Structures are given as structure tokens and as C-alpha cells.
Structure 1
Amino acid sequence: MRRCLFCDEKMNEILTWRSLLLKVEAKMICENCESRLEKIGGETCQVCSRELEEEFRKGDRCLDCVRWEKDEKWKGSITKNVSIFHYNEYLKDIIAKYKYRGDYALAEAFVPFLREKMKEMDFEIITVIPLSEERLKERGFNQAQAFTDLLGLEAMHLLTRVHTEKQSKKSRKERISLPQVFQVTGTDVIQNKSILILDDIYTTGSTLRQAAKILKIAGAREVSSITLAR
């Protein structure tokens, strides 16, 4: 009998002909824990996946993305970000255990959700947001790379990162005004290619836009992203 990866409670497995024939991927968390994950749904921003509210939208975009697209420096840098869950307090705690306390096994719980969402996305190359050498040494693993490994996808290492203060310690204004922290490695392989970046959280969108912009400057045709939460 399996145990929930989040709460460690025993899980009852119900096998059906449908699950056997379609090889439905087994869930790694119990129904109670899954119910605490808030899926993003309804009408969402066509750029960042934020659920649209009447007072914070313009057409099919949220006001944040409208501001990004008005800025000539960032306009068109990222085609679309797709996020799966709201970054609520419950998910924040789970990601902290995974990301900062090294509970690598928790990544398995998100694999079925990522796999299902990625079926809707078209891309030729997948990559991940890299950590600086200092941050990688501190954490022991790249949380985004772990997802691609568990998904059985070969992520290409297209970017390197300059070490900076943790993003979580910065204000929104500081994140948006950060100087470029990425460099592209091996530009030949990305020429005219559609690239998907995988990361854990979309906060202001500055990190993903920095990565997307430098990939496009280096020759990528378009760059999209997928994140667990926003």
C-alpha cells in the first residue's frame, strides 16, 4: 500500500479496467492533499495564465502583462507561460520543503500534472531555469531539472546563471529591474527553434522573461514556459 507523499497517510488504490487499459498514471498524493492544491481555471491571461478579474484586465491579458508588453525592452520576449496551480499557502509550504529543505521525493507528486499539461504545448527543445554554481551547491539539486528527469525528458542546458541574492528576498520592483543574469551556451542548436522553459514558480515573470529574451536574441524562434505555480 502506497503512502501520500505530502501527508504520509495510507492511500487506497482502486484498480479499474480503464486505468489498466489506458495505463493511467498512479497518483502520488491522497485526495485530501490534492484538494488543497488550487488549480488555475476559468478565463486566464493569454500570456501568463493568471485568472482574469474584470478590474485587472485589458482584453485577454492581465494588467501586468499589458505593462510588460508596453515596455520595448521586454515586448514579445515570451510567447506564453502556462501555470498549473495557484501559489497558495499550502503549495508554498510544499515547495519550500522540496526546494529549500531537499525533499526531492516530493517532485514525483507533480509529475502527472505536468505531463498532462505539457500535452497541450508545442515545442522542439525543453530547457530549465538554471541555478548559479553557488545556489546549486547550497541546495544540492536543481528543482526544475528534477521535474524533467522524472518526466523522462532530456532537458538541454542552454543557459548559465550569474549568482545573485535570492529572488524571494527581493521586492517586485527589484525583480523587474534586475540586470541580465543569464548567458546562452551553444547557440547553434537553438537557431529557429521553439523552446519550452520549465520552472517551479511564476512570480513577476522577470526571471522567465530574462531567459526567454536572451534565447531569442541568440536565435530561438519563440520561447514559452511552464511552471507549477503562479
Structure 2
Amino acid sequence: MCHDCEKWEKTNPGLLERNVAAFPYNAFNKDLVARLKYRGDYAVLDAYKEHLQNVWLASGYEGKLVLSVPLSSRRLHERGFNQSEAIIHVLEEVPLSIFERSHSEKQSKRGRKDRMQSENPFRLSNPVTDPVVIVDDIYTTGRTVRHMASLLKEQGCPSVSSFTIFR
């Protein structure tokens, strides 16, 4: 368990079972994320496809509901695609979209303190009572998945985990 997760578990116990990440988030991968998210370069995902699928299979997440992280309508318009849904398709799973997101400043533009203190931008439109896994591109502070997990848990979801390309 990483240091961030240990701290989260002390302040918000039981929200997230675990996160599985396929790669470390380093300088090289930071550039790849920019190519994927901000330039729409899907070849990045194709290059990682086999490894992502192998890590996914090894994670034990198969059979759980796979949730995408929504973008605000403004952000979706800017990018033209949702990177979370694109990752889910590479994993050959079907994304379940049960959240809505209000528009806010990009997470990448916020410092750690601002991320940790941010208000929950998500709204759960359809509660689920089955175990879920949230799929996203990067796990930085864990704030995004924990915002989503808190809403899921409040509505009776028994288990929330996450899968990210980078951590």
C-alpha cells in the first residue's frame, strides 16, 4: 500500500479496496498522457494495449461493473473523447456511465493541497449494489476515485476498486 493510500485509509476508511496501476507515472509517461488526453493520440493506448489487458486480467477485476470517470460537457467538447472510456474499450470491457460531473478546473492545473480539499464534482445518477471498478488514466492523489467511491458507498455499493494506467 502506498503512502497516500495509507493516509486515505486513516481519514476515510473502507472507501477504496485498492488501486491497480499498470505503469509508474514518471517524466516519460507524463508526456504520453499529454499526447493521449490533450492531443487525442489513440496510438498511445494501442501501444500499451497488450500490457494493459494483461494487468487487467491479473488484477482479478473481471466480472465487476466497470465505471468510467465522466468529463464535464465542456471538457468533453474540448477533447472530443473521454479517456476513461477509451481505456475501458482497450480492456475490451463495456463502460458503465452512472456519474455526472460539473465543470471545474483541470486536476493537472491544481496543486496537491487544492486537489485534496476540492469539493466533490460528481453526482451519482444510478446507484449500484454490485462490486465496481473505476477506470481512469492516472492515480495521482486518489481524490477522483475517492470522490466517486464515497457516493457509491453512501448508496449501498459493497466494494469499490480502481484501475489506472499510471500511478
Q: Structure 1 length normalisation: TM-score?
A: 0.68
Name the residue aligned to 2:89: 149
User: Identity over aligned residues, as a percent?
Assistant: 41
For 1:152, the aligned partner's letter is: E
Name the residue aligned to 2:71: 131
Residues in 1 aligned to 2:90 and 2:166: alpha-carbon distance in whole angstroms? 18
1:212 Cα shift?
A: 1.1
Name the residue aligned to 2:134: 197
Give the secondary-structure state (helix, strand or coil) at the position aligned to 1:197. strand
Aligned: 1:214 with 2:146? no
Aligned: 1:91 with 2:23? no
Higher relative CO (Cα under 8 Å, sequence separation at least 6) belongs to 2
Number of residues of Structure 1 aligned to a counterpart in Structure 2: 165
Aligned: 1:174 with 2:114? yes
Which 5+ residue runs of structure 2 have no aligned equivalent?
A: none
For 1:160, the aligned partner's letter is: E
1:107 Cα shift?
A: 1.5
Cα deviation 1:109-150 (Å, max 9, x = unaligned): 222122111113234200111111110000000011112223
1:180 Cα shift?
A: 1.0
Whether the 8 Å CA contact 2:100–2:124 is kept in 1: the answer is yes
For 1:143, the aligned partner's letter is: Q
Name the residue aligned to 2:46: 108
Residues in 2 aligned to 1:158 and 1:141: alpha-carbon distance in whole angstroms? 17
Give the secondary-structure state (helix, strand or coil) at the position aligned to 1:83. strand
Name the residue aligned to 1:41: none
Residues in 2 aligned to 1:215 and 1:85: alpha-carbon distance in whole angstroms? 26
Give the secondary-structure state (helix, strand or coil) at the position aligned to 1:156. coil
> Structure 1 residue runs of 4+, over 4 Å off?
none
Structure number with the higher helix fraction is 2
Residues in 2 aligned to 1:197 and 1:109: alpha-carbon distance in whole angstroms? 22
Aligned: 1:158 with 2:95? no
1:92 Cα shift?
A: 0.8
1:69 Cα shift?
A: 1.7
Residues in 2 aligned to 1:218 and 1:113: alpha-carbon distance in whole angstroms? 34
